[in-house]
């Protein structure tokens, strides 16, 4: 589901507003973490590698059915759930479905005996990009406010103005002020207490999850997850302490795009003065999110794999990937999840049965031209890019069966799957 791009005025003020996707520039630093700068675009194409790439490997094949969890198993009847929600211009309908569907999760968790204590937090996929001005970026910070207090964030000012406030928020949310004492929802069913006034847990969750559609179209769900988890471990951050000792950490990625978690040292891949090796159209005025696909994915024989490439499109040896790969190597995220014993699932561009299809599209020549591949799934809301980087991580960490189609009209199904996965992992 494709968004367009708006360039930063400081660089190219004469580019057409018709390319616009609202974006921004902020600097966020965490301990030992590099800064991120800017935000931005969408759509993509095939990888322009000049040497045969190889995929990133994990201790366990993502399709083997076994998990590579190496972190501590949960010892408490407790789960801390982090939602990473795509807040780009195409996500209004999906956020509404997420808000409606979360009732299934709450109903299951509240009904279980012995009781389960649970926390819920949400952040966005916005980590900045040189092409994004005017968005967060949240960079993993939790957003714990009611969507009713953020109506302008549900307006996307691109070639066409889209107002998704009613479908994503206004028709569902009923609480203007959540009144939370922490930047997350905290439900202690073992003691009968919550931090939600009036114990309106479901209603608060339905108001907190919608994140708007004015975020960066160069989505970085994996980096947002990484930074959010780092924040929970960093004393002084408002997110500190969200993940409790002995509790299961569960992460849910919700996006219709390719992961664009890039190394800020290589932002030249997005800039007109760069070599444009990853641009689907090197003569275009602005890149699309095809850059993110091309810079980190290689397809051959009906299969696509995550690949580490440098600024010239050459494969990077695994030993040098942390410094030289333009996208952050996916072991960065797998290592973090494994160390915490986390569970991860995705609501993304897969088929209705959770399988991933990588095939050419004769019916959508523009998508094919951009990405060099057809959509992973389609709905009335648009088309979703098939996942590759997140797919490999989810398969390796949590095993198969933990991805759900974002093109589905009912998110109660993935929420039921999340509830079942949590129950399977708690003592």
Domains in the chain (CATH in brackets) are 17-425 (3.40.50.410)
Taking alpha carbons only, the member of 188, 204, 132, 221 closest to residue 229 is 221
d(CA 319, CA 378): 38
**pLDDT at res. 18:** 31
Q: With a cut of 70, list the residues of the chain below it in pLDDT.
A: 1-70
Question: Nearest to residue 83, comparing CAs of 298, 288, 253?
Answer: 253
CA distance 254 to 86: 6
**Whole-number percent of the chain with pLDDT over 70:** 84
User: To the nearest whole percent, how much of the chain has pLDDT over 90?
Assistant: 74
DSSP strand pairing (343-348 vs 78-85): unpaired
Beta strand extents in 76-138 (DSSP E only): 78-85, 117-124
Question: What gap in Å lies between CA 343 and CA 324, rounded to an integer?
Answer: 29
In this prediction, residue 381 carries a pLDDT of 72
Predicted local confidence at residue 304, as pLDDT: 95
CB 332 within 8 Å of CB 265:
no
CA distances (Å), origin 283, targets 213, 273, 278, 279, 287: 28, 12, 12, 9, 9
Contact (Cβ atoms closer than 8 angstroms) between residue 386 and residue 349: yes
């Amino acid at each position: 589901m494709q968004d367009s791009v708006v360039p930063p005025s400081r660089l190219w003020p004469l580019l057409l507003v018709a390319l616009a996707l609202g974006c921004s520039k902020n600097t966020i630093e965490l301990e030992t973490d590099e800064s991120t700068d800017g935000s931005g675009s969408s759509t993509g194409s095939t990888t322009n590698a000049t040497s045969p790439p190889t995929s990133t490997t994990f201790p366990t094949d993502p399709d083997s059915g076994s998990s590579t969890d190496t972190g501590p198993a949960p010892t408490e009847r407790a789960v801390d759930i982090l939602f990473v929600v795509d807040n780009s211009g195409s996500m209004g309908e999906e956020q509404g479905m997420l808000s409606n569907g979360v009732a299934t999760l709450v109903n299951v968790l509240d009904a279980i005996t012995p009781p389960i204590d649970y926390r819920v937090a949400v952040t966005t996929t916005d980590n900045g990009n040189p092409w994004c001005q005017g968005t967060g970026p949240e960079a993993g910070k939790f957003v714990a406010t009611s969507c009713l207090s953020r109506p302008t964030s549900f307006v996307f000012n691109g070639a066409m103005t889209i107002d998704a406030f009613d479908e994503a928020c206004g028709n569902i949310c009923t609480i203007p002020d959540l009144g939370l004492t922490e930047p997350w929802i905290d439900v202690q069913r073992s003691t009968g207490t919550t931090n939600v006034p009036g114990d309106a847990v479901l209603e608060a969750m339905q108001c907190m999850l919608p994140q708007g559609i004015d975020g960066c179209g160069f989505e970085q769900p994996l980096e947002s997850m990484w930074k959010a988890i780092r924040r929970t471990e960093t004393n002084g951050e408002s997110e500190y302490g969200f993940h409790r000792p002995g509790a299961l950490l569960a992460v849910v990625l919700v996006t219709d795009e390719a992961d664009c978690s890039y190394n800020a040292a290589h932002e030249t891949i997005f800039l007109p003065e760069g070599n444009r090796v990853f641009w689907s159209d090197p003569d275009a005025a602005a890149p699309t999110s095809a850059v993110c696909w091309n810079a980190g994915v290689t397809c051959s024989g009906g299969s696509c794999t995550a690949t580490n490439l440098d600024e010239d499109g050459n494969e990077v040896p695994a030993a040098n990937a942390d410094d030289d790969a333009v996208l952050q190597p996916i072991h960065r995220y797998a290592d973090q999840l494994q160390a915490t014993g986390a569970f991860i699932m995705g609501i993304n561009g897969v088929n209705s049965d959770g399988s991933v299809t990588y095939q050419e599209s004769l019916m959508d020549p523009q998508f094919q031209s951009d990405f060099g591949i057809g959509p992973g799934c389609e709905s009335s809301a648009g088309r979703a890019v098939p996942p590759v980087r997140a797919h490999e991580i989810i398969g390796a960490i949590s095993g198969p069966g933990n991805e759900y189609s974002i093109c589905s009209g009912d998110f109660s199904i993935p929420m039921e799957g999340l509830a079942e996965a949590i129950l399977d992992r708690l003592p």
